[in-house]
Structure 1
Amino acid sequence: MCVFCQDRVVIGVAYDCMEKMVYWTDITGPAISKARLSGGDIIPLILNELQSPEGIAIDHISRLLFWTDSMRDTIEVSKLDGSHRRVLFDTDLVNPRPIVTNPAYGRLYWADWNRDGPKIEMSNMDGTERTVLVKDDLGLPNGLTFNPGDQQLCWADAGTRKVECMDPHRRLRRQIAEGIQYPFALVSFGRTLYYTDWRREAVVAVDRQSERETEEFLPQKRSRVYGITTTPTQCPQGTALYLSVHPEQS
Protein backbone atom coordinates (compact mmCIF):
# COMPACT_ATOMS: atom_id res chain seq x y z
CA MET A 1 0.00 0.00 0.00
CA CYS A 2 1.37 3.41 -0.94
CA VAL A 3 1.50 6.28 1.53
CA PHE A 4 2.24 9.48 -0.35
CA CYS A 5 0.46 12.35 -1.98
CA GLN A 6 1.39 14.01 -5.25
CA ASP A 7 4.56 16.08 -4.97
CA ARG A 8 5.31 14.58 -1.57
CA VAL A 9 8.24 12.37 -0.61
CA VAL A 10 7.50 10.09 2.32
CA ILE A 11 10.67 8.66 3.86
CA GLY A 12 9.72 6.78 7.03
CA VAL A 13 6.56 4.97 8.10
CA ALA A 14 5.50 3.57 11.47
CA TYR A 15 2.35 1.92 12.80
CA ASP A 16 0.47 2.16 16.07
CA CYS A 17 -1.14 -1.24 16.58
CA MET A 18 -3.40 0.02 19.38
CA GLU A 19 -5.28 2.68 17.40
CA LYS A 20 -4.50 1.28 13.94
CA MET A 21 -2.91 4.51 12.78
CA VAL A 22 -0.11 4.94 10.24
CA TYR A 23 2.47 7.66 10.92
CA TRP A 24 4.93 9.02 8.36
CA THR A 25 7.62 11.61 7.73
CA ASP A 26 7.45 13.88 4.68
CA ILE A 27 10.59 15.77 3.68
CA THR A 28 8.86 18.04 1.15
CA GLY A 29 6.50 19.63 3.68
CA PRO A 30 8.36 19.04 5.80
CA ALA A 31 5.86 17.37 8.12
CA ILE A 32 5.01 14.42 10.31
CA SER A 33 1.44 13.18 9.82
CA LYS A 34 -0.86 10.27 10.51
CA ALA A 35 -3.99 8.63 9.11
CA ARG A 36 -6.09 5.60 9.84
CA LEU A 37 -4.97 2.36 8.23
CA SER A 38 -8.51 1.94 6.92
CA GLY A 39 -8.29 5.34 5.18
CA GLY A 40 -9.57 8.80 5.93
CA ASP A 41 -8.26 12.30 6.45
CA ILE A 42 -4.56 13.03 6.88
CA ILE A 43 -3.91 14.51 10.33
CA PRO A 44 -0.81 16.76 10.54
CA LEU A 45 1.08 16.36 13.82
CA ILE A 46 4.37 18.25 13.52
CA LEU A 47 4.77 21.09 11.01
CA ASN A 48 7.21 23.50 12.63
CA GLU A 49 10.95 23.32 13.28
CA LEU A 50 11.50 20.49 10.85
CA GLN A 51 14.01 20.38 8.00
CA SER A 52 14.44 16.78 6.87
CA PRO A 53 12.47 14.38 9.09
CA GLU A 54 13.35 10.85 7.99
CA GLY A 55 13.28 8.04 10.53
CA ILE A 56 10.16 7.55 12.66
CA ALA A 57 9.31 5.09 15.44
CA ILE A 58 6.50 4.50 17.92
CA ASP A 59 6.37 3.18 21.46
CA HIS A 60 2.81 1.86 21.55
CA ILE A 61 3.03 1.14 25.29
CA SER A 62 4.11 4.60 26.47
CA ARG A 63 2.28 6.30 23.55
CA LEU A 64 5.37 8.13 22.33
CA LEU A 65 6.57 9.20 18.88
CA PHE A 66 10.29 9.44 18.01
CA TRP A 67 11.92 10.82 14.86
CA THR A 68 15.24 11.83 13.37
CA ASP A 69 15.97 15.00 11.39
CA SER A 70 19.04 14.62 9.18
CA MET A 71 19.44 18.35 8.55
CA ARG A 72 18.79 19.59 12.07
CA ASP A 73 20.92 16.66 13.30
CA THR A 74 18.47 15.86 16.07
CA ILE A 75 16.52 13.03 17.61
CA GLU A 76 13.21 14.20 19.07
CA VAL A 77 10.23 12.80 20.95
CA SER A 78 6.63 13.79 21.51
CA LYS A 79 3.36 12.24 22.51
CA LEU A 80 1.46 10.56 19.68
CA ASP A 81 -0.65 13.68 19.16
CA GLY A 82 2.48 15.81 18.66
CA SER A 83 2.29 17.50 22.06
CA HIS A 84 5.02 17.69 24.70
CA ARG A 85 7.71 17.75 22.05
CA ARG A 86 11.34 17.84 23.13
CA VAL A 87 14.82 17.21 21.74
CA LEU A 88 16.48 14.08 23.09
CA PHE A 89 19.81 14.52 21.29
CA ASP A 90 21.39 17.33 19.28
CA THR A 91 25.08 16.50 19.63
CA ASP A 92 27.36 13.95 17.93
CA LEU A 93 24.90 13.47 15.08
CA VAL A 94 25.68 14.07 11.39
CA ASN A 95 23.22 12.08 9.27
CA PRO A 96 20.79 10.29 11.60
CA ARG A 97 18.17 8.33 9.68
CA PRO A 98 16.62 5.04 10.88
CA ILE A 99 15.24 4.79 14.42
CA VAL A 100 13.43 1.94 16.19
CA THR A 101 12.07 1.24 19.66
CA ASN A 102 12.06 -1.65 22.10
CA PRO A 103 9.01 -0.72 24.20
CA ALA A 104 9.28 -3.71 26.55
CA TYR A 105 12.70 -2.54 27.76
CA GLY A 106 12.26 1.20 27.18
CA ARG A 107 15.14 1.32 24.70
CA LEU A 108 15.75 3.39 21.60
CA TYR A 109 18.09 2.50 18.71
CA TRP A 110 19.19 4.62 15.76
CA ALA A 111 21.82 4.74 13.02
CA ASP A 112 23.88 7.64 11.68
CA TRP A 113 25.26 7.14 8.16
CA ASN A 114 27.92 9.86 8.57
CA ARG A 115 30.40 8.83 5.86
CA ASP A 116 33.35 9.83 8.05
CA GLY A 117 32.15 7.81 11.02
CA PRO A 118 28.96 5.78 10.64
CA LYS A 119 27.57 4.27 13.82
CA ILE A 120 24.59 2.61 15.48
CA GLU A 121 23.61 3.88 18.92
CA MET A 122 21.31 3.01 21.78
CA SER A 123 19.79 4.87 24.74
CA ASN A 124 16.92 4.74 27.16
CA MET A 125 13.80 6.45 25.86
CA ASP A 126 14.30 9.36 28.24
CA GLY A 127 17.69 10.05 26.63
CA THR A 128 19.84 8.58 29.39
CA GLU A 129 22.62 6.00 28.99
CA ARG A 130 23.46 6.84 25.38
CA THR A 131 25.88 4.22 24.05
CA VAL A 132 27.54 3.42 20.71
CA LEU A 133 26.68 -0.18 19.81
CA VAL A 134 28.44 -0.52 16.45
CA LYS A 135 31.08 1.61 14.79
CA ASP A 136 33.34 -0.87 12.98
CA ASP A 137 32.75 -2.27 9.49
CA LEU A 138 29.88 0.07 8.67
CA GLY A 139 29.43 2.07 5.48
CA LEU A 140 25.96 3.53 5.00
CA PRO A 141 23.56 1.99 7.53
CA ASN A 142 20.22 3.07 6.07
CA GLY A 143 17.83 0.52 7.51
CA LEU A 144 17.32 -0.59 11.10
CA THR A 145 14.83 -2.91 12.79
CA PHE A 146 14.36 -4.62 16.15
CA ASN A 147 12.75 -8.02 16.65
CA PRO A 148 11.32 -8.26 20.18
CA GLY A 149 10.86 -12.02 19.89
CA ASP A 150 14.55 -12.83 20.03
CA GLN A 151 15.89 -9.37 20.96
CA GLN A 152 17.80 -8.97 17.70
CA LEU A 153 18.74 -5.58 16.27
CA CYS A 154 19.32 -5.80 12.52
CA TRP A 155 20.54 -3.30 9.94
CA ALA A 156 20.88 -2.97 6.17
CA ASP A 157 24.00 -1.19 4.95
CA ALA A 158 24.18 0.30 1.44
CA GLY A 159 27.93 0.89 1.87
CA THR A 160 29.04 -2.60 2.86
CA ARG A 161 26.09 -4.12 0.92
CA LYS A 162 25.27 -6.37 3.84
CA VAL A 163 22.43 -7.15 6.21
CA GLU A 164 23.61 -7.92 9.74
CA CYS A 165 22.04 -8.62 13.14
CA MET A 166 23.21 -8.20 16.71
CA ASP A 167 22.09 -9.03 20.21
CA PRO A 168 22.47 -5.53 21.71
CA HIS A 169 22.86 -6.97 25.20
CA ARG A 170 25.62 -9.49 24.51
CA ARG A 171 26.99 -7.58 21.48
CA LEU A 172 27.05 -10.73 19.33
CA ARG A 173 27.06 -9.76 15.66
CA ARG A 174 26.12 -12.00 12.71
CA GLN A 175 26.01 -11.47 8.96
CA ILE A 176 22.69 -12.39 7.34
CA ALA A 177 23.19 -11.39 3.69
CA GLU A 178 25.96 -9.92 1.55
CA GLY A 179 26.30 -8.62 -1.98
CA ILE A 180 22.94 -6.88 -1.89
CA GLN A 181 22.51 -3.78 -4.04
CA TYR A 182 21.23 -0.56 -2.40
CA PRO A 183 19.07 -1.20 0.69
CA PHE A 184 17.17 1.71 2.20
CA ALA A 185 14.73 0.56 4.89
CA LEU A 186 14.40 -2.66 6.86
CA VAL A 187 11.72 -4.37 8.94
CA SER A 188 11.58 -7.68 10.79
CA PHE A 189 8.71 -10.11 11.17
CA GLY A 190 9.44 -13.45 12.80
CA ARG A 191 12.38 -15.11 11.10
CA THR A 192 12.07 -12.93 7.98
CA LEU A 193 13.67 -9.58 7.24
CA TYR A 194 12.19 -7.35 4.54
CA TYR A 195 14.29 -4.57 3.01
CA THR A 196 13.57 -2.01 0.33
CA ASP A 197 16.16 -1.71 -2.41
CA TRP A 198 16.55 1.40 -4.56
CA ARG A 199 18.40 -0.31 -7.41
CA ARG A 200 16.13 -3.32 -7.63
CA GLU A 201 13.11 -1.07 -6.97
CA ALA A 202 11.68 -3.87 -4.89
CA VAL A 203 11.06 -5.25 -1.43
CA VAL A 204 13.28 -8.24 -0.76
CA ALA A 205 12.61 -10.94 1.85
CA VAL A 206 15.53 -12.69 3.57
CA ASP A 207 15.24 -15.65 5.93
CA ARG A 208 17.42 -14.94 8.98
CA GLN A 209 17.98 -18.59 9.78
CA SER A 210 18.90 -19.89 6.33
CA GLU A 211 20.51 -16.52 5.45
CA ARG A 212 18.94 -16.69 2.00
CA GLU A 213 16.69 -14.46 -0.08
CA THR A 214 13.24 -16.01 -0.28
CA GLU A 215 11.00 -13.56 -2.14
CA GLU A 216 10.96 -10.31 -4.11
CA PHE A 217 7.99 -7.94 -4.28
CA LEU A 218 7.83 -5.48 -7.18
CA PRO A 219 5.59 -2.37 -7.19
CA GLN A 220 3.15 -2.19 -10.11
CA LYS A 221 4.84 0.95 -11.38
CA ARG A 222 8.51 1.84 -11.66
CA SER A 223 9.16 3.22 -8.20
CA ARG A 224 11.85 4.03 -5.69
CA VAL A 225 10.76 2.30 -2.49
CA TYR A 226 11.50 4.13 0.76
CA GLY A 227 10.15 3.26 4.21
CA ILE A 228 8.62 -0.03 5.27
CA THR A 229 6.83 -1.21 8.40
CA THR A 230 4.46 -3.95 9.52
CA THR A 231 0.81 -3.51 10.49
CA PRO A 232 -0.12 -6.07 13.16
CA THR A 233 -3.82 -6.90 13.33
CA GLN A 234 -3.29 -7.24 17.07
CA CYS A 235 -0.50 -6.12 19.35
CA PRO A 236 1.86 -7.78 18.58
CA GLN A 237 0.76 -10.73 16.39
CA GLY A 238 -0.37 -10.89 12.78
CA THR A 239 1.15 -8.58 10.20
CA ALA A 240 1.02 -7.09 6.73
CA LEU A 241 3.57 -5.02 4.86
CA TYR A 242 3.01 -1.27 4.53
CA LEU A 243 5.28 0.78 2.28
CA SER A 244 6.08 4.32 1.29
CA VAL A 245 6.85 4.55 -2.41
CA HIS A 246 7.94 7.45 -4.58
CA PRO A 247 8.01 7.25 -8.41
CA GLU A 248 11.28 7.81 -10.21
CA GLN A 249 11.70 11.35 -11.43
CA SER A 250 12.31 11.80 -15.14
Structure 2
Amino acid sequence: LIFSTKGQFILTYDCVDKMVYWTDIATPSISKASLQGGKPIVVIKTDLESPEGIAIDHLGRTVFWTDSIQDRIEVASLDGSKRRVLINTGLVNPRAIITDPIKGHLYWTDWNREAPKIETSYLDGTNRRVLVQDDLKLPNGLTYDPQGSLLCWADAGTHKVECMNPSHGNRRQVLEGLQYPFSITSYGKKLYYTDWKRDSVVMADSSEEMESDVFQPQKRSRLYGIITVYPQCPADRKSLL
Protein backbone atom coordinates (compact mmCIF):
# COMPACT_ATOMS: atom_id res chain seq x y z
CA LEU A 1 0.00 0.00 0.00
CA ILE A 2 1.04 3.59 -0.70
CA PHE A 3 -0.79 6.57 0.72
CA SER A 4 -0.30 10.32 0.41
CA THR A 5 -0.54 13.32 2.70
CA LYS A 6 -0.95 17.00 1.85
CA GLY A 7 0.43 18.03 -1.53
CA GLN A 8 -0.08 14.74 -3.32
CA PHE A 9 -3.83 14.42 -3.72
CA ILE A 10 -4.77 11.12 -5.37
CA LEU A 11 -2.44 8.32 -6.45
CA THR A 12 -2.39 5.65 -9.10
CA TYR A 13 0.13 3.02 -10.14
CA ASP A 14 1.52 1.76 -13.44
CA CYS A 15 2.30 -1.92 -12.87
CA VAL A 16 4.30 -2.16 -16.11
CA ASP A 17 6.94 0.49 -15.48
CA LYS A 18 6.56 0.41 -11.66
CA MET A 19 5.75 4.11 -11.55
CA VAL A 20 3.50 5.99 -9.15
CA TYR A 21 1.45 8.88 -10.61
CA TRP A 22 -0.36 11.55 -8.61
CA THR A 23 -2.36 14.73 -8.93
CA ASP A 24 -1.45 17.93 -7.11
CA ILE A 25 -4.22 20.51 -6.72
CA ALA A 26 -1.89 23.14 -5.24
CA THR A 27 0.41 23.46 -8.25
CA PRO A 28 -1.76 22.19 -10.12
CA SER A 29 -0.05 19.34 -11.95
CA ILE A 30 0.22 15.62 -12.60
CA SER A 31 3.54 13.96 -11.79
CA LYS A 32 5.16 10.56 -11.57
CA ALA A 33 8.08 8.88 -9.81
CA SER A 34 9.66 5.45 -9.77
CA LEU A 35 8.63 3.10 -7.01
CA GLN A 36 12.36 2.56 -6.45
CA GLY A 37 12.86 6.25 -5.70
CA GLY A 38 14.27 9.20 -7.60
CA LYS A 39 13.16 12.69 -8.48
CA PRO A 40 9.52 13.29 -9.45
CA ILE A 41 8.83 14.04 -13.10
CA VAL A 42 6.05 16.44 -14.04
CA VAL A 43 3.89 14.88 -16.75
CA ILE A 44 1.23 17.58 -17.21
CA LYS A 45 1.27 21.15 -15.84
CA THR A 46 -0.85 23.23 -18.21
CA ASP A 47 -4.61 23.77 -18.50
CA LEU A 48 -5.32 22.20 -15.12
CA GLU A 49 -7.35 23.80 -12.33
CA SER A 50 -8.26 21.13 -9.78
CA PRO A 51 -6.98 17.72 -10.93
CA GLU A 52 -8.34 15.26 -8.39
CA GLY A 53 -8.90 11.62 -9.35
CA ILE A 54 -6.34 9.81 -11.50
CA ALA A 55 -6.25 6.32 -13.02
CA ILE A 56 -4.10 4.33 -15.44
CA ASP A 57 -4.92 1.86 -18.18
CA HIS A 58 -1.75 -0.24 -18.10
CA LEU A 59 -2.75 -2.05 -21.31
CA GLY A 60 -3.55 1.04 -23.36
CA ARG A 61 -0.65 3.00 -21.74
CA THR A 62 -2.86 5.96 -20.92
CA VAL A 63 -3.65 8.08 -17.86
CA PHE A 64 -7.11 9.46 -17.03
CA TRP A 65 -7.95 12.25 -14.59
CA THR A 66 -10.86 14.34 -13.35
CA ASP A 67 -10.85 18.13 -12.93
CA SER A 68 -13.54 19.30 -10.51
CA ILE A 69 -13.32 22.97 -11.52
CA GLN A 70 -13.23 22.45 -15.27
CA ASP A 71 -15.84 19.71 -14.82
CA ARG A 72 -14.28 17.28 -17.22
CA ILE A 73 -12.46 13.98 -17.61
CA GLU A 74 -9.31 13.92 -19.73
CA VAL A 75 -6.98 11.25 -21.04
CA ALA A 76 -3.40 11.30 -22.31
CA SER A 77 -0.49 9.00 -23.03
CA LEU A 78 1.66 8.28 -19.99
CA ASP A 79 4.22 10.89 -21.10
CA GLY A 80 1.51 13.57 -21.31
CA SER A 81 1.25 13.55 -25.10
CA LYS A 82 -1.92 12.91 -27.15
CA ARG A 83 -3.98 14.66 -24.50
CA ARG A 84 -7.69 15.08 -25.14
CA VAL A 85 -10.94 15.77 -23.33
CA LEU A 86 -12.91 12.55 -22.94
CA ILE A 87 -16.08 13.81 -21.21
CA ASN A 88 -17.12 17.42 -20.52
CA THR A 89 -20.90 17.28 -20.20
CA GLY A 90 -23.09 16.31 -17.26
CA LEU A 91 -20.29 16.72 -14.71
CA VAL A 92 -20.39 19.05 -11.68
CA ASN A 93 -17.78 17.82 -9.18
CA PRO A 94 -16.07 14.75 -10.65
CA ARG A 95 -13.61 13.27 -8.18
CA ALA A 96 -12.59 9.61 -7.98
CA ILE A 97 -11.85 7.72 -11.20
CA ILE A 98 -10.64 4.16 -11.82
CA THR A 99 -10.14 1.85 -14.77
CA ASP A 100 -10.86 -1.79 -15.47
CA PRO A 101 -8.38 -2.33 -18.33
CA ILE A 102 -9.23 -6.03 -18.61
CA LYS A 103 -12.87 -5.39 -19.55
CA GLY A 104 -12.23 -1.94 -20.99
CA HIS A 105 -14.34 0.05 -18.53
CA LEU A 106 -13.96 3.42 -16.82
CA TYR A 107 -15.72 4.38 -13.56
CA TRP A 108 -15.95 7.74 -11.80
CA THR A 109 -17.81 9.55 -9.03
CA ASP A 110 -19.45 12.98 -9.09
CA TRP A 111 -20.19 14.48 -5.66
CA ASN A 112 -22.49 17.18 -7.06
CA ARG A 113 -24.46 17.97 -3.89
CA GLU A 114 -27.68 18.34 -5.86
CA ALA A 115 -27.38 15.00 -7.65
CA PRO A 116 -24.37 12.84 -6.66
CA LYS A 117 -23.75 9.81 -8.84
CA ILE A 118 -21.37 7.08 -9.95
CA GLU A 119 -21.00 6.61 -13.69
CA THR A 120 -19.28 4.28 -16.12
CA SER A 121 -18.28 4.21 -19.79
CA TYR A 122 -15.92 2.38 -22.08
CA LEU A 123 -12.33 3.59 -21.97
CA ASP A 124 -12.94 5.70 -25.08
CA GLY A 125 -15.82 7.53 -23.36
CA THR A 126 -18.61 5.80 -25.28
CA ASN A 127 -21.52 3.87 -23.76
CA ARG A 128 -21.72 6.25 -20.81
CA ARG A 129 -24.35 5.47 -18.19
CA VAL A 130 -25.22 6.08 -14.54
CA LEU A 131 -24.58 3.14 -12.22
CA VAL A 132 -25.66 4.60 -8.87
CA GLN A 133 -27.64 7.76 -8.12
CA ASP A 134 -29.75 6.95 -5.04
CA ASP A 135 -28.65 7.29 -1.41
CA LEU A 136 -25.36 9.03 -2.22
CA LYS A 137 -24.01 12.27 -0.74
CA LEU A 138 -20.23 12.67 -1.04
CA PRO A 139 -18.84 9.63 -2.89
CA ASN A 140 -15.15 10.41 -2.48
CA GLY A 141 -13.29 7.17 -3.02
CA LEU A 142 -13.68 4.44 -5.63
CA THR A 143 -11.96 1.10 -6.13
CA TYR A 144 -12.42 -1.97 -8.33
CA ASP A 145 -11.33 -5.55 -7.67
CA PRO A 146 -10.95 -7.29 -11.06
CA GLN A 147 -10.78 -10.77 -9.51
CA GLY A 148 -14.09 -10.42 -7.71
CA SER A 149 -15.64 -7.97 -10.21
CA LEU A 150 -16.47 -5.74 -7.26
CA LEU A 151 -16.83 -1.97 -7.43
CA CYS A 152 -16.67 -0.28 -4.00
CA TRP A 153 -16.96 3.33 -2.91
CA ALA A 154 -16.51 5.37 0.26
CA ASP A 155 -19.08 8.12 0.92
CA ALA A 156 -18.17 10.88 3.40
CA GLY A 157 -21.77 12.08 3.46
CA THR A 158 -23.57 8.81 4.21
CA HIS A 159 -20.53 7.63 6.25
CA LYS A 160 -20.63 4.27 4.48
CA VAL A 161 -18.62 1.95 2.28
CA GLU A 162 -20.75 0.12 -0.27
CA CYS A 163 -19.99 -2.38 -3.04
CA MET A 164 -21.66 -3.78 -6.13
CA ASN A 165 -21.00 -5.88 -9.19
CA PRO A 166 -21.32 -3.32 -12.03
CA SER A 167 -22.79 -5.95 -14.36
CA HIS A 168 -25.40 -7.26 -11.93
CA GLY A 169 -26.17 -4.19 -9.82
CA ASN A 170 -26.37 -6.11 -6.53
CA ARG A 171 -25.48 -3.16 -4.30
CA ARG A 172 -24.75 -3.88 -0.64
CA GLN A 173 -23.49 -2.01 2.39
CA VAL A 174 -20.11 -3.12 3.74
CA LEU A 175 -19.44 -0.57 6.50
CA GLU A 176 -21.42 2.16 8.21
CA GLY A 177 -20.72 4.80 10.84
CA LEU A 178 -17.47 5.95 9.24
CA GLN A 179 -16.21 9.43 10.16
CA TYR A 180 -14.81 11.04 6.99
CA PRO A 181 -13.56 8.49 4.45
CA PHE A 182 -11.67 9.99 1.54
CA SER A 183 -9.80 7.51 -0.66
CA ILE A 184 -10.24 3.74 -0.89
CA THR A 185 -8.39 0.81 -2.44
CA SER A 186 -8.82 -2.96 -2.45
CA TYR A 187 -6.70 -6.08 -2.36
CA GLY A 188 -8.80 -9.19 -2.75
CA LYS A 189 -11.49 -9.12 -0.06
CA LYS A 190 -9.59 -6.50 1.92
CA LEU A 191 -10.54 -2.83 1.67
CA TYR A 192 -8.33 0.02 2.85
CA TYR A 193 -9.51 3.60 3.20
CA THR A 194 -8.07 6.87 4.47
CA ASP A 195 -10.06 8.84 7.03
CA TRP A 196 -9.57 12.59 7.41
CA LYS A 197 -10.95 12.81 10.95
CA ARG A 198 -9.09 9.80 12.32
CA ASP A 199 -5.85 10.63 10.43
CA SER A 200 -5.66 6.91 9.76
CA VAL A 201 -5.68 4.14 7.22
CA VAL A 202 -8.43 1.68 8.09
CA MET A 203 -8.60 -1.93 6.89
CA ALA A 204 -11.85 -3.82 6.51
CA ASP A 205 -12.97 -7.19 5.21
CA SER A 206 -15.66 -6.82 2.54
CA SER A 207 -17.04 -10.30 3.24
CA GLU A 208 -17.23 -9.93 7.03
CA GLU A 209 -18.44 -6.32 6.80
CA MET A 210 -16.33 -5.05 9.68
CA GLU A 211 -13.14 -3.09 10.33
CA SER A 212 -10.20 -5.31 11.20
CA ASP A 213 -7.22 -2.96 11.68
CA VAL A 214 -6.23 0.71 11.89
CA PHE A 215 -2.87 2.24 11.01
CA GLN A 216 -2.03 5.75 12.20
CA PRO A 217 1.23 7.33 10.97
CA GLN A 218 3.57 8.47 13.73
CA LYS A 219 3.34 12.01 12.39
CA ARG A 220 -0.33 12.97 12.48
CA SER A 221 -1.51 14.41 9.18
CA ARG A 222 -4.57 14.40 6.97
CA LEU A 223 -4.31 11.40 4.62
CA TYR A 224 -5.39 11.71 1.01
CA GLY A 225 -4.93 9.09 -1.71
CA ILE A 226 -4.22 5.40 -1.20
CA ILE A 227 -3.36 2.70 -3.74
CA THR A 228 -2.52 -0.99 -3.82
CA VAL A 229 0.76 -1.90 -5.49
CA TYR A 230 0.35 -5.36 -7.00
CA PRO A 231 3.44 -7.57 -7.47
CA GLN A 232 2.47 -8.07 -11.11
CA CYS A 233 -0.02 -6.72 -13.60
CA PRO A 234 -3.47 -8.30 -13.90
CA ALA A 235 -3.85 -10.65 -16.85
CA ASP A 236 -4.50 -8.96 -20.18
CA ARG A 237 -7.53 -9.46 -22.38
CA LYS A 238 -5.95 -12.16 -24.55
CA SER A 239 -5.19 -14.41 -21.57
CA LEU A 240 -8.83 -14.29 -20.59
CA LEU A 241 -10.04 -15.78 -23.90
The TM-score by the shorter chain falls in which range? over 0.9
Distance 1:3 1:150 in 2: 26
State the partner residue of 1:215. Answer: 213
Give the length in aligned residue pairs: 234
The one-letter code of the counterpart of 1:221 is: K
Contact 2:94 2:110 in 1 (8 A): yes
State the partner residue of 1:231. Answer: 229
Which digits, 9 at most, give the CA deviation of each residue in 1:171-190, with x for residues without a partner? 11010000111000000101
1:197 pairs with one of 195, 198, 208: 195
Percent of residue pairs identical: 59
State the partner residue of 1:244. Answer: none
Distance 1:72 1:227 in 2: 21
Distance 1:142 1:156 in 2: 6
Structure 2 unmatched ranges of 5 or more: 236-241
Structure 1 unmatched ranges of 5 or more: 238-250
1:185 pairs with one of 179, 183, 186: 183
Distance 1:131 1:2 in 2: 30
Distance 1:24 1:76 in 2: 14
Which digits, 9 at most, give the CA deviation of each residue in 1:101-151, with x for residues without a partner? 000111000000011100000000101000000000001000000000011
The TM-score, its normalising length taken from structure 1, stands at 0.91
The one-letter code of the counterpart of 1:24 is: W
- 1 or 2, which has the higher strand percentage? 1
State the partner residue of 1:133. Answer: 131
2:53 pairs with one of 49, 52, 55: 55
Distance 2:208 2:167 in 1: 23
Distance 1:165 1:30 in 2: 31
1:32 to 2:6 alignment: no
State the partner residue of 2:119. Answer: 121
Question: C-alpha displacement at 1:42, in angstroms?
Answer: 1.0
Distance 2:226 2:3 in 1: 10
- Alpha-carbon spacing, 1:116–1:88, altered in 2? closer, same or farther (3 Å): same
State the partner residue of 1:77. Answer: 75
Distance 2:120 2:3 in 1: 30
Contact 2:9 2:52 in 1 (8 A): yes
Distance 2:143 2:24 in 1: 20
Question: C-alpha displacement at 1:233, in angstroms?
Answer: 2.1
Distance 1:2 1:69 in 2: 21
Distance 1:103 1:224 in 2: 31
Poorly superposed stretches of 4+, deviation over 2 Å = 1-4
Contact 2:25 2:49 in 1 (8 A): yes
1:15 pairs with one of 13, 16, 21: 13
Distance 2:53 2:4 in 1: 15
State the partner residue of 2:62. Answer: 64
Contact 2:3 2:223 in 1 (8 A): no
Contact 2:10 2:22 in 1 (8 A): yes
Question: C-alpha displacement at 1:236, in angstroms?
Answer: 3.6
